[in-house]
Amino acid sequence: MSGKPVSELDVQRAGAAKGVDLYFPDLKERGRQYDARGSVADFDACVAEYASLARKVNRECVGVYDLQYGQARAERLDIFPTVLGAQPAPAFVFIHGGYWRSQAKEDAPIMAHAFTRAGVAVCTLEYTLLPEATLAEVVRQVRSAVAWLYRNGSTYGLDPQRLYVGGSSAGAHLAAMAAARGWTASYGLPEDVVKGVAGLSGLYELAPLCEIAPNEWLQLHADQTARVSPLHHLPRAGLPMVLAVGGLETDGFKNQTEAYEEACRAGGLEVNRVQVPQCNHFNLLCELADPQSELCEAVLKMVRQA
């Protein structure tokens, strides 16, 4: 884990996020605001759409599966490279959501078809789910995967100098922790190993979750949350970032993105906030599979410009 938060960033964060309600009037309302599954009436349909898009990727895209990046059984990743003539290619490293306790990388590569056609390789990560692992351990695993890709990605047609991270929901939290400052030196990596980040419907301040249902598997005390909350560990100034949250999501997830966006802007990051009023917490991810969508275009533009 990275060290203690820098006091200057704490001041910036507190000022930027002022007025953004992450706690809500009472625990019942807070629980409702952070209940992602309860916010949609058609959760099963959303999962079915993920599965359909993932099967399409498996049929139409070349993939290298279950590469071991660490010692734990779950520390595996899949790579969907670009065509040989477009290598070495920038890589978009996508981390699946599921509130850190469910889902799998096999359901996550739904953007691979659109991205690889655009010259961007895709990598999807697996990690040990909670509560088998602690959240701090999951953050360590994700960072280890970035280190593995930096050192080994060229074997699979990836450019280690152009690694981008992204994720949805809990995956956006993990992507933000991979983009945070302060951890790369201990892995022998350059500080700018991550060149950009895309966060969809992320959770960036975890203290509000300590008294509601997610803490059954997070198992965090309030005084521990700063160590694993991206709002306390911002990326370096100048890093490009794409943030989005569905217009049909609860205020809990909207406010989390707003607080993080404001803190990142105050910290000198280049934030592109994409508006997706038609999306809920789950079908927002499917926008990345559509090369005509504003969100897909924004992420690809970030990769190409840097």
Name the CA dihedral angle for 284, 271, 103, 254, rounded to a multiple of 10 degrees. Answer: -60
The rounded Cα 252 to chain-centroid distance in angstroms is 17
Tell me, yes or no, whether 291 lies in a domain.
Answer: yes
- Helix 135-152 and helix 170-179, axial crossing angle in degrees, nearest 10: 60
Please answer whether residues 120 and 92 qualify as being in contact, where contact means their C-beta atoms are separated by less than 8 angstroms: yes
Q: Is 259 helix (H, G, I), strand (E, B) or coil?
A: helix
The rounded Cα 282 to chain-centroid distance in angstroms is 14
φ, ψ for residue 93, nearest 5 deg? -95, 110
**Confidence band for 10, pLDDT divided at 50, 70 and 90:** very low
pLDDT of residue 156: 97
CATH number of the domain residue 114 falls in: 3.40.50.1820
Residue of 115, 109, 34 lying closest to 298 (CA atoms): 115
Give yes or no for residue 108 having a pLDDT over 90.
yes
Tell me, yes or no, whether 66 lies in a domain.
Answer: yes
Give yes or no for residue 15 having a pLDDT over 60.
no
**Confidence band for 233, pLDDT divided at 50, 70 and 90:** very high
Domain count, the chain: 1
The CA distance from 196 to 47, in Å, is 27
Helices (H), 119-169: 135-152
Give yes or no for residue 144 having a pLDDT over 70.
yes
**Rounded average pLDDT over 233-258:** 98
Cβ contacts of residue 214 below 8 Å, gap of 6+?
34, 99
**Rounded average pLDDT over 52-71:** 94
Please answer whether residues 149 and 93 qualify as being in contact, where contact means their C-beta atoms are separated by less than 8 angstroms: yes
The CA distance from 41 to 90, in Å, is 37
Please answer whether residues 157 and 87 qualify as being in contact, where contact means their C-beta atoms are separated by less than 8 angstroms: yes
Give yes or no for residue 56 having a pLDDT over 70.
yes
Residue of 153, 151, 163, 146 lying closest to 92 (CA atoms): 163
Show the domain range for 131: 7-305
Give yes or no for residue 263 having a pLDDT over 90.
yes
Tell me, yes or no, whether 1 lies in a domain.
Answer: no
Structure token digits, residue 201: 């419907």
Tell me, yes or no, whether 86 lies in a domain.
Answer: yes
Tell me, yes or no, whether 2 lies in a domain.
Answer: no
| pTM of the shown model | 0.94
Give yes or no for residue 9 having a pLDDT over 50.
no
End-to-end CA distance of the chain, in Å?
27
Give yes or no for residue 8 having a pLDDT over 60.
no
Give yes or no for residue 13 having a pLDDT over 50.
no
Tell me, yes or no, whether 52 lies in a domain.
Answer: yes
**Confidence band for 46, pLDDT divided at 50, 70 and 90:** confident
- Helix 7-16 and helix 251-266, axial crossing angle in degrees, nearest 10: 130
Name the CA dihedral angle for 101, 248, 167, 269, rounded to a multiple of 10 degrees. Answer: -130
Tell me, yes or no, whether 263 lies in a domain.
Answer: yes
The CA distance from 173 to 100, in Å, is 9
Give yes or no for residue 1 having a pLDDT over 70.
no
Structure token digits, residue 197: 């980040």
CB atoms inside a 10 Å sphere around CB 72: 16
pLDDT of residue 18: 55
